[in-house]
Structures are given as structure tokens and as C-alpha cells.
A and B are shown apart, each in its own frame.
Chain A
Amino acid sequence: MGDPVEAGRVLSHLAEIEVVAEEILSTRREIIDMDRQRNKTREAIRALQNQKKEDKVWLCNGNMFLKVENAKAVKMLSKDFEALDTEVSSSRARLKPQVKKLRDLEMKDELKGFGLVALTPEERKSVENLL
């Protein structure tokens, strides 16, 4: 007890764990923020679709306001929506190896099976009775 080398090693191990944990938490926050943004974009697209196509609407981009045609606004928002979708997917993909690393550092067993390719709906139906 009181061995400074050992204490140093324990501290650095704990620090490593904290770093990985913080990375995971920040990825989670990213996903949540993007989902929030995605939902707002979807609501906006819905609201615009209820108006006539030729009307001009105000669109806020960053700190700039633009007056564009309804149809064009819907197209811009849809593009944003697609981009957010892809971003969320890639963040989730990043999350998996991060969690794997954390469990490794914490000396926990690996979570088995999450690297598998998911079954298609037909395939799932074939083993439905077992699940």
C-alpha cells in the first residue's frame, strides 16, 4: 500500500476509462440533438406542404433569413432531413466500437452478437416462433 508506481497506474487507468466514457456520452448527446433537429425539420416540411406551392415563404438559415418559393423551401428542408438521417446512422455506428472499448477497459465481457448483420423481415418471420 502506498506504492506510488501502482497508484499512478491505477490513476491513469481510471483516466482512460473516463475519457472513453466522455466520448460515449458526447456521441449520445450528438444523436439526441440531431434527432431533435430532424423532428423539427419534419414538422416544418409538413407545415409547408399544407400551403400552396407558389407562395413564397421565409426560411431561416443560420442567422440569415431567405424568402424562397414554397417548393424550393421544401426541397431544401428535405435535403437537410436526409443529411441528418445519415449523420444519426453514422453516429450510431461510431457508438458501437466506443462501447466495446469501454467494456474492455472495465474488464467486462464483450456484448456478443451486436456486430451481426440484422435479419431481413422474411428471415425473421421464419424463426419467429422461436423468439
Chain B
Amino acid sequence: MGHVMPSAEKVQEIREVTRIERIGAHSHIRGLGLDDALEARQVSQGMVGQIKARKAAGVILEIIKDGKIAGRGILIAGQPGTGKTAIAMGMAQALGTDTPFTSIAGSEIFSLEMSKTEALTQAFRKSIGVRIKEETEIIEGEIVEVQIDRPATGTGAKVGKLTLKTTEMETIYQLGQKMIESLTKEKAQAGDIVTIDKATGKITKLGRSFTRARDYDAMGAQTKFVQCPEGELQKRKEVVHTVTLHEIDVINSRTQGFLALFSGDTGEIKSEVREQINSKVAEWREEGKAEIVPGVLFIDEVHMLDIECFSFLNRALESDMAPILIMATNRGITRIRGTQYTSPHGIPIDLLDRLVIISTSPYEEKEIKQILRIRCEEEDVEMNDDALTVLTRIGMETSLRYAIQLITASSLVCRKRKGTEVDVEDIKRVYSLFLDESRSTQFLKEYQQEFMFNEMVPDEMETS
């Protein structure tokens, strides 16, 4: 086998260190945790409790997977810290990579770069996939021998023979001028596993055959060993791709060359471009060349949208290529942004009418303990049982999010004192260092005179 140079090893080490993944608030969720009968297991795939909401989400998942019903809206509503975003994450994981899943927050719609309707249109089109297939005939095999003869006269064309084999057969191909050039350019030699595209004549080296691994003592660091291909030499390769409508929009609307620098790429895509693309995709659909894959658009904090956005959503849901819309909010009866009227969840009644509503309820003590245990595992923190109980109590009295954030903080405190497990002392220390919302409000009420720009807040925000 080839030898490894010491400097190559160091480079690899550096690369691994930079690949530490950031652990998000919901990274422990792998799915909805439902069994085959769509019943929710108490603790499964990172989800805990919230049985009714998860079951409802599971039913909706089946509707989405069917793919035949599009343009449905779902609203997940509940108090803060009751698992709304977690359920949406669970659904995204359960759908897999085949179905487009776009997640945005309500406030993202408002940006200086583009108008609200453009931002929403882009979000919608990112959630609609188009499935297409490409097909090529290829010849794939291990090179047994390459024989190239230069003509004796010096002016004729080169002629050559290529012997290829698989595990089942072996054959000789006569080579034309262009093939000989490609082979020489690719430096293809006996023992290489290659793929030749029949239509274009392009040669791709896949690696070297395992049987030739001991041929040389010193080989390049890039050498990859591959098994000899099986079956027939001439194969038909079919690849299925799923691209989103938004991606197609973007490549078709990009201003060419340096003019883009001067005209300023606004990020807005002209509606003519979109119409053209819609008709092209419809044409492909007719010809059986494309399939529409309606995906899921998740809008968190949907109460941040204003009345114009809601009218847009109403219309967009009626299109025949609409994705499934899942919205989440923790507001109760609130003013609809852009108007003086109030309505449940800050969403106009006519949109609410089109939605199926899933409600989430606050977690019980056992569930909070389980969630904290899962988060400890996810963040790689060892905690003893007493500390976990104290943390659960804190979670019950303050909020789940506050308790989760204490996990990492307390693990750092623990490491500082060179301990192995987080214990009650560590939890107490971070509890006193970091205030939660109610203690912070208390503190403010007592010392409000000392703060700059102090003003009395008239009404507290409704969150239930």
C-alpha cells in the first residue's frame, strides 16, 4: 500500500478540527417518533410528550407524502416553549431529503433587499420541487490493456485498441483518433477503472483496481482503489434529480456578465421569467419529463406578518402548485399587523378558516426532565441525578428554554472546577449568574430609575 507522508497527516488533523458542528436548539430531533400505526411514543426520536400534537402532525405527514393534495395550511399554536418548532423540525426530518422543506421566520419577510411579496414568493417557490431524470449509456470497466500504434509513415492517424473487462466479460474496442487523445490526456493505463460516456466520448477515471494495489510501493496520495465493475460493460445510467422552482428561476434570471455589477442585482425576479418557467415546467409535465414535488414551507412567528402578506398567502394557497404551509405562533388574541383589528393569533379570520389548527400544551414535570436529559446527551454534558432534578424544578418554575441554556453554562462551570459531572452546586452557581425572564423583570421593577431611557410599559404582552 502507498505510504503516508507526515505532513499529509497534519493537514488532515486541521481539517477535522474545523468540522465541529454547531449544536442548534433543535438538533436532537430526528423525527416525530411515531410508530407504524401513527401513534406517538412517549419518548422517541428526540421528541418527548406532546402526544396529541405529534399524532396530528403524523397524519398531516401522510397527506404530504401522498403528494396528491397540495395547498393545505396548518397552524401550530401554543404557549412559548411547548414544542412548536420542534414538531416542525420533526416533520422535516421525517420527510427526508426528497421533499423540499423551507423554514423561515415571519420577520425575515421584511428586508431592504426585496419586497414582502417577493420574499414570500421566493419562499413558496423554494418549497416546490421539480423531479427530472437524465439518462446516459456508459461503458464501465477495468482497463486490461491500452495499445496505441503510431503510423509508420509519420503522417497517418494513430490507431489503437482498448481492452476492457468486468467481472463477467472482456472485450476489445478499436479506438478512433479522438478517443486516443482522451485516453492519453486522462493518462489511463492498465489497472484503471474507467467510465466512458457513449454519447460524448468523455472518459472518467473512477480509481484503480484493488488487484493492482500491490503493483507499486510508492503511489500518489490521491490514489483511490475501487472494485472491478460487475455485470455488463455497456450500462444505462439513470440519475433522478430534484431541483426547486426557485433554483430554476435564479439561473434563468441572472444578469449576464459585469452589467450585473452596475445595474445592481436586486434579488427580485421578474414575473415574466417566472411565467416562462411555469409554462416550460408545465410543458415538461405534459411530456412526462418532469414531476412536481410539492414540499413544505414552515413560517415561524407568523404573527409578525402583516395584512398584505396574509392576503398574499390566501391567494398563493389557491394555486395548483402550492406547497403545504405550516405556520407557528405563540400569540393569543393579538392585533393584526397593518390594521387596528385584533384576531386570534394575529391572523385574519379568512385565512384561519382555511387552516387546520394543532395546539400544543405546556410540558409536565416528567416530560421536562426527559427533554433535559436528551439535551444533556446532545450537548455531551454529564449530569448527576440530583442536579437534573434541580434543573427540572427550575424549568418548571421559569421556562424550558432557560433550563436548556443552563446546561451548557453549568457544564463549563463544572469543567472549570475540574469536575467530571455537573452537580447541584454548578446549577446553583449559573442560576445566580444568569437571570431568567421573571427575575429580570423583578429586578427592572426595583431599579428602573437607575436605567437609561426608562419608561413605563402600559400593557404586558399576551402570551396565552
What is the number of residues of chain B that contact chain A, defined by CB distance less than 8 Å? Answer: 31
Q: Does B17 belong to the interface (CB within 8 Å)?
A: no
* Interface range for A: 20 to 34
- Majority SS at the chain B contact face: strand
When the two chains form their complex, are residues A116 and B290 in contact, meaning their CB atoms are under 8 A apart?
yes
Contact B241 A32 (CB under 8 A): no
Which residues of A (65-112) have their CB < 8 Å from a CB of B? 92, 112
A25 to chain B, nearest CB (A): 11
CB contact under 8 A between A130 and B247, given known A116-B133, A123-B289? yes
The verdict on A18 contacting chain B, using a C-beta distance below 8 Å, is: no
> Do A114 and B240 touch (CB < 8 A)?
yes
Q: Which of B261-291 contact A (CB under 8 A)?
A: 284, 287-291
For B239, the closest partner residue in chain A by CB is A131
Identify which of B165-173, B354-362, B408-416 touches chain A: B165-173
Contact A130 B241 (CB under 8 A): yes
Whether the Cβ atoms of A35 and B234 lie closer than 8 Å is: yes
From 31 to 60 in chain A, residues with beta carbon under 8 angstroms from any chain B beta carbon are 31-32, 34-36, 38-40, 42-43, 46
A116 touches B288 (CB 8 A): yes
Q: Does A124 sit at the interface, judged by CB under 8 A? A: yes
Question: When chains A and B are docked, how far (Å) is the Cα of A119 from the Cα of B231?
Answer: 26
Chain B residues with Cβ below 8 Å from A118 are: 133-135, 238, 289
Residue of B nearest to A129 (CB): B251
| Chain A residues in 8 Å Cβ range of B290 | 116
B247 neighbours in A (Cβ, 8 Å): 130
| A8 within 8 A of partner (CB) | no
Is B174 in contact with A46, judged by CB distance below 8 angstroms?
yes
Whether A117 sits at the interface, judged by CB under 8 Å, is: yes
B224-252 contacts to A, CB under 8 A, are: 231-234, 236, 238, 240-243, 247-248, 251
Binding site for A on B (CB under 8 A): 98, 131-135, 168-169, 171-172, 174, 199, 231-234, 236, 238, 240-243, 247-248, 251, 284, 287-291
16 A-B pairs (CB sep. < 8 Å): A32-B232, A36-B169, A43-B172, A112-B291, A113-B133, A113-B240, A113-B291, A114-B133, A116-B240, A116-B290, A118-B133, A118-B135, A121-B199, A130-B241, A130-B243, A130-B248
